Amino acid sequence: MPKKNAFYAQSGGVTAVINASACGVIQAAKVEPKIAKVFAGHNGIIGALNEELIDTSKETACTINQLLHTPSGAFGSCRYKLKSLADNRAEYERMIDVFQAHNIGYFFYNGGGDSQDTTYKLSEYCKQVGYPLQCIGIPKTIDNDLPFTDNCPGFGSVAKYVAISTKEAALDVASMSASSTKIFILEVMGRNAGWIAASAGLAAEQEGDAPHMILFPEITFNREKFLTQVNRTVKKYGYCVIVASEGTQDQSGQYLSGSSTKDAFGHLQLGGVAPNLAEMIKRKFGYKYHWAMADYLQRSARHIASKTDVDQAYALGEAAVALAVDGKTGVMPTIVRGKGKKYSWSIGEASLSTVANVEKKLPRDFISRDGWHITDRAREYLSPLIRGEDYPPYKRGLPVYARLKKVMTTKKLGKYRQD
């Protein structure tokens, strides 16, 4: 059987471990007899449309190995959602033209819900037109909101970063609170689902530990209740540490961040819950505050990535290759949690027809009854995901991250003109 090339692309917001999945794909493909080269889309799926294919075989084995500990999307990512077949058939045709021109028989798309949707649409289209392409999704999202997989690569490392940062900043506030700052608010990502905010709860290991309050997108924000709880906490512990999701909303569905910018998917660009809350508290009680906005730092913090997360990201990349050469299409490898008391995981498989565009929110029983904390159930789920430290190598005090040559394969088609 003649070898075919593979196409791999990164999609959407990047993570600390998406390159570990890329590494898994490339290294597994290298020893796979059915696969010749792996071409990576330059800036994601746009690279396929523009025929900008990075020839990963031109990178050294050492560089490919460095992907395992390099954050962000080494090949470039993008926020670009393929329209439906009815709306833009030309995009699908173009992609197949590019794949055909470069003898590509395997398609790996590393992303969140939107990307799994794209992978599914493409697999359906290929079946329709009879182009032999094994379309495999590889899960990735710090938001941890994909269904059918126990968790998503990228999330465990954000969770670890957020839990550690909360723990550390809280010690800072605690030591100064008698005469200075009494309120500290850390704003974290998670537009619609409170998984990241919840992970901060792991920092609280004993009674009285921070965070004292967590604001989830799943719990409607009530100003009066919030202020009462803040004051109660300050009276009890001398200070109050709050972790707030960027997606915190009031009962009218208004985001507390009050920003109105939208991104390419039409999602609201958020930011600014923390300063709003801090001012609210200051006006009511006069407490001195500090707040932090982790923003990209949280999802790129490879220096403190979770070993579990890195291992899973790599394994999912490897598994995607195995599924593809096995003739599967329209599927995504998943993480399946073992049943035993001791945490274990294995690789499963889900059909993209059911995965695409379903959002997994934080279950209500992961949030305490009063809405300010996580429950033991949440801890049980979250704790294993942040375990293990997978430190990158360092040189002169800084982590050594991969620098790719990004050699593009020669174009064979004309320029793509978008409608």
Which 10-29 positions form the footprint of its own copies (CB under 8 A)? 10, 13-14, 16
DSSP state string for 157-171: HHHHHHHHHHHHHHH
At what angle are helices 18-30 and 307-325 packed, to 10 degrees?
Answer: 40
Letters for 56-85 (x = contact with its own copies by CB under 8 A, - = none) are --------------xxxxxxxxxxx-----
Nearest to 384 by CA among 199, 213, 210: 199
Compute the C-alpha angle 73/361/16, nearest 5°. 20
Tokens of 251: 């009962």
Whether residue 197 contacts residue 343, with contact meaning beta carbons closer than 8 Å, is answered with: no
Interacting positions 277-306 with its own copies (CB under 8 A): 278-279, 288, 290-297, 299-304, 306
The stretch among 119-127, 177-185, 244-252, 326-334 that binds its own copies (CB under 8 A) is 177-185
Largest CA distance in the chain: 75
Using the structure block, give the residue that is written with the tokens 């979250």: 382
172 is catalytic: no
101 binds its own copies (CB under 8 A): no
State the minimum distance, in angstroms, from the CB of residue 191 to its own copies. Answer: 14
Burial 345-380 (b: 16+ CB within 10 A, else e): bebebbebeebbeeebebeeebbeeebbbbbeebee
> Which of 97, 114, 143, 145 is labelled catalytic?
143
State the minimum distance, in angstroms, from the CB of residue 324 to its own copies. Answer: 24
Name the residue nearer to its own copies (CB basis): 227 or 322: 227
Whether residue 289 contacts residue 182, with contact meaning beta carbons closer than 8 Å, is answered with: yes
Under rule CB under 8 A, how many of the chain's residues touch its own copies?
A: 84
164 binds its own copies (CB under 8 A): yes
Distance (Å, rounded) from C-alpha 389 to C-alpha 310?
A: 9
The correct pick among 40, 95, 173, 243 for binding its own copies (CB under 8 A) is: 173
Name the residue nearer to its own copies (CB basis): 70 or 134: 70
The correct pick among 174, 200, 213, 323 for binding its own copies (CB under 8 A) is: 174
Nearest to 151 by CA among 29, 10, 368, 306: 306
Distance (Å, rounded) from C-alpha 118 to C-alpha 120?
A: 5
Name the residue nearer to its own copies (CB basis): 284 or 361: 284
State the minimum distance, in angstroms, from the CB of residue 31 to its own copies. Answer: 27
104 binds its own copies (CB under 8 A): no
Interacting positions 119-138 with its own copies (CB under 8 A): none
The correct pick among 85, 171, 322, 347 for binding its own copies (CB under 8 A) is: 171
Name the residue nearer to its own copies (CB basis): 73 or 190: 73
Residue 13, judged by CB atoms within 10 A of its CB (0-12, 13-18, 19+), counts as: buried
Distance (Å, rounded) from C-alpha 23 to C-alpha 44?
A: 16
205 binds its own copies (CB under 8 A): yes
Letters for 366-405 (x = contact with its own copies by CB under 8 A, - = none) are -----------------x--xxxx-x--x-xxxx-x-x--
State the minimum distance, in angstroms, from the CB of residue 92 to its own copies. Answer: 19
Distance (Å, rounded) from C-alpha 27 to C-alpha 219?
A: 43
Tokens of 372: 């300010």
Name the residue nearer to its own copies (CB basis): 126 or 169: 169
The stretch among 199-207, 212-220, 327-335, 362-370 that binds its own copies (CB under 8 A) is 199-207
State the minimum distance, in angstroms, from the CB of residue 180 to its own copies. Answer: 5
Name the residue nearer to its own copies (CB basis): 98 or 319: 98
- Cα distance between the two ends of the chain: 38
The correct pick among 46, 67, 133, 244 for binding its own copies (CB under 8 A) is: 46
Name the residue nearer to its own copies (CB basis): 9 or 219: 9
Phi, psi of 303 (to 5 degrees): -60, -20
Name the residue nearer to its own copies (CB basis): 132 or 238: 238
Distance (Å, rounded) from C-alpha 126 to C-alpha 109?
A: 15
263 binds its own copies (CB under 8 A): yes
Catalytic site residues? 143
